[in-house]
Chain A
Amino acid sequence: MLWVDKYRPKTLDKVLVHQEIAQNLKKLVTEQDCPHLLFYGPSGSGKKTLIMALLRQMFGPSADKVKVENKNWKVDAGTRTIDVELTTLSSTHHVELNPSDAGFQDRYVVQEIIKEMAKNRPIDTKGKKGFKVLVLNEVDKLSREAQHSLRRTMEKYSASCRLILCCNSSSKVTEAVRSRCLNMRINAPTEAEIVNVLEFIGKKEGLQLPSGFANRIAQQSNRSMRRAILSFETCRVQQYPFTINQAIPPMDWEEYVSEIASSIFKEQSPKRLFEVRGKLYELLINCIPPEIILKRLLYELLKKLDSELKHEISHWAAYYEHRLRLGQKAIFHLEAFVAKFMSIYKGFLIETFG
């Protein structure tokens, strides 16, 4: 088992990072009165961990017994019936799904499936816990229509169903949905907190950590706990016992992007652009999301620029990233950004050095 999963805190009491939030959540649940929740925060900050721990706190250990199901729904949409297939993860008390997996049909998923689930009240002999929990991931990727149809569903079935929504940025969730939920902001762990957790894991695994080693991992992790733990484990596999100046291997795609950046700096010509295009393609077919490539490329480029150019480049990065979202083919926009950069940089070089 990967350490990321092995050391995922199972209960709210054992959470190391967001202790205050965890205690508040616990209070929330023990009062037997839970509103709809919206968790938002950057990736690797512990949203999912908190949700799982919360479910466990609500329903006890039976919440851990989950089964993966591939469900087929037939949705009646007037003239035609639409087949929606979706993978759900469910236990007796909760159902978890990724509505955005249904693509442009997500509206039907939200309307029909959630409605249906919310209608089926769980029957409990003790009359307790008369509600089911529905965990929806990536609500920020839901279409506007789907979010709109979510809002009344939330109100209508609030007695029998609680929704837990999970997303990266709450900007993309409509105000209407946000105002119906208790918003929980999960911030990324600070470096000190990451160091803390790494040391905790090190102790549990019986490892000797040289001083400053955990610090360096934390610095490289970009404040993502998941990434920190993964690279910690990679280091462990590569070389143990640790040495003080052991290199922490960067992600290979990041290295690749930094190569691209330096090759752009060396020469600005159509020929070089063509080479860069090949490399960008390489990254894309390895399933690195284009916006992440663009962001990383910007990061690498900004390192070596004059402050005047930094403004300009960051503006164009934002500009092309926006176009990338609207457009279809990512490579055009990535390439356009590179070409733009080359022209700006060349102009700058000519102006400065003649």
Chain B
Amino acid sequence: MAPVLQSSQPWVEKYRPRQVKDVAHQDEVVRVLTNTLETTNCPHMLFYGPPGTGKTTTALAIAHQLFGPELYKSRVLELNASDDRGINVVRTKIKNFAAVAVGSARQGGYPCPPYKIIILDEADSMTEDAQNALRRTMETYSKVTRFFFICNYISRIIEPLASRCAKFRFKPLTEEIMSNRILYICKEEGLNLDSEALSTLSSISQGDLRRAITYLQGAARLFGSSVSSKDLISVSGVIPEEVVQALFSACKSGHFDVADKEVKNVIAEGYPVSQMLSQLYDVIVESEDLSDEQKARICKKFAEADKCLVDGADEYLQLLDSASNIMRAISNMPQEFSFGS
């Protein structure tokens, strides 16, 4: 294999914590897991929480710390959504792996407890059938195998599986912890980040550390070692405030054609409409000259438009419809149409 250039590694991987105790902000989890490291006693686990809070990192770190690099390959099975995980895989691959018995030979200073670990990343994208097939497997081989489930939405894990696991919720990271980590990376990489850029970064990444680091690396690559908040906005895909305001004031003007032109402009500039809706939503909720009823009316429309967008509807039409609804709400036009009903 050709040598990997160190620099070509994404920072997300480069600065992924290698040890459980380095995982930031998830105190309960870390406490339980450090305990596990000492006693080598470990239940099935279910990690859930928003993206970029360290779920995969924690699972990988604990596996590495338990088994060390040599045994890791034979003791840990890592499956994620990019591997096929239909019911067949559960019946064959997972079951076969789970059935193998292992000893507890302590090697090279690692605890090496007498069980194997199966990490199922992004478990919420497994089919219900596959999850059902896992139930019995988990119990039968519980002596020699531990399961780690990782998911974003716990509601998508079937109840029988969830009840067999110790559940850990991963909290979104606070601004302070994120800034610490970001500043650490900046120092390591020799980056210059002013405080304005730092606060922009934490507001646009919304508690997702991975996203923050990706933005930072993107901005650093594009704009060199000194990163301003404008650079961060341009790589993150967040729509500049002026554009949102322009659309909002076009809606306020009450002229359909003005709003239509602005909508066309937004589409031509290539701004993603889902992002536009969520930023417009912020503007409208905070706006002071709208009554609660008007806001509610607009928000209801936004929810519908968002659903349509997820279904793949056309961006221009949806944004135009939303804009027209904002206009009608602002000018207190009746909600029902007068002609077609």
- Which residues of B (273-325) have their CB < 8 Å from a CB of A? 273-275, 305, 308-309, 311-318, 320-321, 324-325
In the complex, number of A-B residue pairs with CB atoms less than 8 Å apart = 207
Contact status of A32 and B272, CB under 8 A, knowing A179-B210, A308-B338, A312-B340: no
The answer to whether the Cβ of B109 comes within 8 Å of any Cβ in the partner chain is no
The answer to whether the Cβ of B221 comes within 8 Å of any Cβ in the partner chain is yes
| Contact between B313 and A322, CB atoms less than 8 A apart | yes
| Contact between B256 and A152, CB atoms less than 8 A apart | no
CA–CA, A302 and B259, complex, Å:
13
Contact status of A151 and B82, CB under 8 A, knowing A302-B260, A326-B311: yes
| Contact between A295 and B316, CB atoms less than 8 A apart | yes
Chain A residue nearest to B309 (CB atoms) is: A171
Chain B 213-246 near chain A by CB (<8 Å), digits 1 or 0: 0100110011110000000001111000000000
**A-side interface residues, number (CB < 8 Å):** 82
Residues in chain B near residue A33, CB distance under 8 A: 5, 7-8, 221
The answer to whether the Cβ of A56 comes within 8 Å of any Cβ in the partner chain is no
Residues in chain B near residue A326, CB distance under 8 A: 311
Residues in chain A near residue B223, CB distance under 8 A: 24
Residues in chain A near residue B268, CB distance under 8 A: 42, 187-188, 223
CA–CA, A298 and B3, complex, Å:
57
The answer to whether the Cβ of A236 comes within 8 Å of any Cβ in the partner chain is no
**B-side interface residues, number (CB < 8 Å):** 73
CA–CA, A151 and B316, complex, Å:
28
The answer to whether the Cβ of A153 comes within 8 Å of any Cβ in the partner chain is yes
The answer to whether the Cβ of B155 comes within 8 Å of any Cβ in the partner chain is no
The answer to whether the Cβ of A316 comes within 8 Å of any Cβ in the partner chain is yes
Residues in chain B near residue A295, CB distance under 8 A: 314, 316-317
The answer to whether the Cβ of B121 comes within 8 Å of any Cβ in the partner chain is yes
Residues in chain A near residue B262, CB distance under 8 A: none
The answer to whether the Cβ of B114 comes within 8 Å of any Cβ in the partner chain is no
The answer to whether the Cβ of B271 comes within 8 Å of any Cβ in the partner chain is yes
**Chain B proximity of A11: nearest CB distance (Å):** 19
Chain B 53-86 near chain A by CB (<8 Å), digits 1 or 0: 0000000000000000000000000001111101
Chain A residue nearest to B234 (CB atoms) is: A185
| Contact between B271 and A185, CB atoms less than 8 A apart | yes
Residues in chain A near residue B89, CB distance under 8 A: 78
Q: Most chain-B Cβ atoms within 10 A of its Cβ — which of A24, A35, A150, A171?
A: A171
The answer to whether the Cβ of A91 comes within 8 Å of any Cβ in the partner chain is no
Residues in chain B near residue A152, CB distance under 8 A: 80-82, 121-122
| Contact between A130 and B88, CB atoms less than 8 A apart | no
Residues in chain A near residue B4, CB distance under 8 A: 130, 159-160
| Contact between A31 and B340, CB atoms less than 8 A apart | no
Residues in chain A near residue B257, CB distance under 8 A: 307
**Chain B proximity of A174: nearest CB distance (Å):** 10
Interface segment out of the listed A196-204, A252-260, A340-348: A340-348
The answer to whether the Cβ of A247 comes within 8 Å of any Cβ in the partner chain is no
CA–CA, A351 and B268, complex, Å:
38
The answer to whether the Cβ of A277 comes within 8 Å of any Cβ in the partner chain is no
The answer to whether the Cβ of A9 comes within 8 Å of any Cβ in the partner chain is no
Contact status of A171 and B82, CB under 8 A, knowing A27-B224, A121-B1: no
Chain A 142-183 near chain B by CB (<8 Å), digits 1 or 0: 000100111111011011100000000111100110111111
Residues in chain B near residue A180, CB distance under 8 A: 214
**Chain A proximity of B151: nearest CB distance (Å):** 12
Chain B residue nearest to A178 (CB atoms) is: B237
| Contact between A314 and B320, CB atoms less than 8 A apart | yes
Residues in chain A near residue B7, CB distance under 8 A: 31-33
Chain A 313-348 near chain B by CB (<8 Å), digits 1 or 0: 011111101100110000000000000100111011
CA–CA, A101 and B314, complex, Å:
20
Residues in chain A near residue B338, CB distance under 8 A: 308, 312, 347, 351
The answer to whether the Cβ of A79 comes within 8 Å of any Cβ in the partner chain is yes
Which of A42, A176, A318, A340 is the one whose CB lies under 8 Å from B270? A42
**Chain B proximity of A130: nearest CB distance (Å):** 4
Chain B residue nearest to A183 (CB atoms) is: B237
| Contact between B328 and A170, CB atoms less than 8 A apart | no
| Contact between B81 and A148, CB atoms less than 8 A apart | yes
CA–CA, A159 and B13, complex, Å:
10
Chain A 261-301 near chain B by CB (<8 Å), digits 1 or 0: 00000000000000000000000000000010011001000
Chain B 1-22 near chain A by CB (<8 Å), digits 1 or 0: 1111101111011000000000
10 contacts between A and B (CB under 8 A): A78-B86, A121-B1, A121-B2, A151-B81, A169-B315, A170-B275, A185-B270, A322-B318, A325-B312, A345-B339
B residues neighboring A (CB under 8 Å): 1-5, 7-10, 12-13, 51-52, 80-84, 86, 88-89, 121-122, 125, 208, 210-211, 214, 217-218, 221-224, 234-237, 255-257, 260, 267-275, 305, 308-309, 311-318, 320-321, 324-325, 327-328, 333, 337-340
User: What 5 A-B pairs have minimum CB-CB distances, sorted nearest first?
Assistant: A41-B270, A78-B88, A318-B321, A171-B274, A130-B2
A residues neighboring B (CB under 8 Å): 24, 27-28, 31-35, 40-42, 45, 77-79, 110-111, 115, 121-124, 127, 130-131, 145, 148-153, 155-156, 158-160, 169-172, 175-176, 178-183, 185-188, 223, 291, 294-295, 298, 302, 307-312, 314-319, 321-322, 325-326, 340, 343-345, 347-348, 351
